Amino acid sequence: MDMGKGVGLVETKYITVASHPHELTLESGQHFGPVEVAYETYGELNQRGDNCIIVPHALTGEAHVAGRHTPEDRVAGWWDELIGPGRALDTNKYFVVAANVIGGCCGTTGPKSTNPETGKPYGADFPLITIRDMVQVQYLLLKNLGIRRIKAVIGGSMGGMQVLEWALMYPEMVEAIVPIAASGRLAAQCIAFNAVQREAITGDSDFKGGHYYPGPGPIRGMGLARQIATITYKSDESWASKFGRTFSSIRPQDYYSLDNRFEVEHYLDYQGEKLVQRFDANTYLYLTKAMDLHDLGRGRGEYREVFSRFRGKVLSIGVSSDFLYPKYYQEEIHHFFKQAGADSHYWELISPYGHDAFLIEFKKMSLKIAQFMQTLS
């Protein structure tokens, strides 16, 4: 299969979507502002303003979804292989928009941004935000860009939660959605995994109640949080085939020592250290809490009934080996949309990679998503 071309060089842009201190009304009722949004776009918006695809990101994602910022960049955006001329999200036809979420740490206003009232970073004074707040801010961005209709909203994990909220909050704007490896409301096991990750961060003495700027912050706790998360993103099978029981110490006498290390442990260390360099611990707390509060039913009535708000097209994708967001949650999403009258489809991505499959299985997803996009008007 021809996987198309990449989008080439791109840049992150910035726009203020709420300029006054209390302009934005959050789901909590709290007023907040100003809000600046970091975003990227690929392709061209058409005259009617109706060829837009939104790609919300997952927990540690960002607006840089496709292409490279400089010719020297070693890696492209996190969903690069799905986006570009001739790719599943074809930039010859569509205008792809991706924004860093509110509460984030990659350009959009979040806990590490400066609080204009104090001149210091918000830290723990940042207001609680929800998945609906993330979507509302993206909606304001789209208004600013002159977008009137959305062809599709596509994303996995926390991105998938935003996809679902897009459908329920702005059903008249959205033609189709593709939620991947997400659920309609966060399950207790996911809340539990998020809770221990937050405990790892807040238990680090360098966390200082969230007011650790500009210091190094809770490096060790944040690294541990990422290590725990990393385990949940994969599967027993993928760990076994990638690392097995390979031992990393060179000296045989190290084997019978408490300090010995298997390769898999080094990999976890590496994942922890890598995230610490690019991610803010407070954002980690705020976004995992937003995920915990994710519940399509909240304030809308009976859970299974709220799906009837959206009558567009749905492609719900589950991953066969995902134990964090097991596939029956994506089957449930499909089932409830279908029951409510939407043109809904379910597809199981057969993969050994666990939850992370939506960031790995580009060939399989490209085929399926390209096929789905062709069924749209």
Q: Which chain residues interact with a second copy by CB under 8 A?
A: 26-30, 124, 128, 130, 185-189, 191-193, 195-196, 199-200, 203-205, 220-221, 224, 227-228, 230-231, 234-236, 239-240, 242-245, 255-258, 260, 262, 264-265, 268, 285-286, 289, 292-293, 295, 323, 326
Q: How far is the CB of 177 from a second copy (least distance, A)?
A: 22
Q: How far is the CB of 227 from a second copy (least distance, A)?
A: 5
The candidate with the shortest Cα–Cα distance to 211, out of 281, 133, 161, is 281
**157 carries an active-site annotation:** yes
In 237-332, which ranges are E strands? 313-319
226 annotated binding-site participant: yes
What DSSP string runs through 67-124? SBSSTT-SS--TTGGGEETTSSEETTT-EEEEEPPTT-SSSSS-TTSEETTTTEE-GG
Indicate which residue of 90, 133, 280, 322 is catalytic: 322
| Nearest CB to a second copy, comparing residues 46 and 189 | 189
**The two structure tokens encoding residue 283:** 């954002």
**322 carries an active-site annotation:** yes
**The two structure tokens encoding residue 79:** 């969903």
**19 carries an active-site annotation:** no
| Nearest CB to a second copy, comparing residues 83 and 324 | 324
Q: How far is the CB of 347 from a second copy (least distance, A)?
A: 21
48 annotated binding-site participant: no
Helix (H) or strand (E) holding 365: helix 362-374
CA distances from 331 to 40, 127, 317, 341, 345 (A): 31, 34, 8, 15, 9
| Nearest CB to a second copy, comparing residues 230 and 320 | 230
Length of the chain equals 377
Q: How far is the CB of 59 from a second copy (least distance, A)?
A: 16
Biggest CA-to-CA distance, the chain: 70
User: What are the catalytic residues?
Assistant: 157, 322, 355
Residues making up the binding site = 226, 356
Residues making up the binding site for substrate = 226, 356
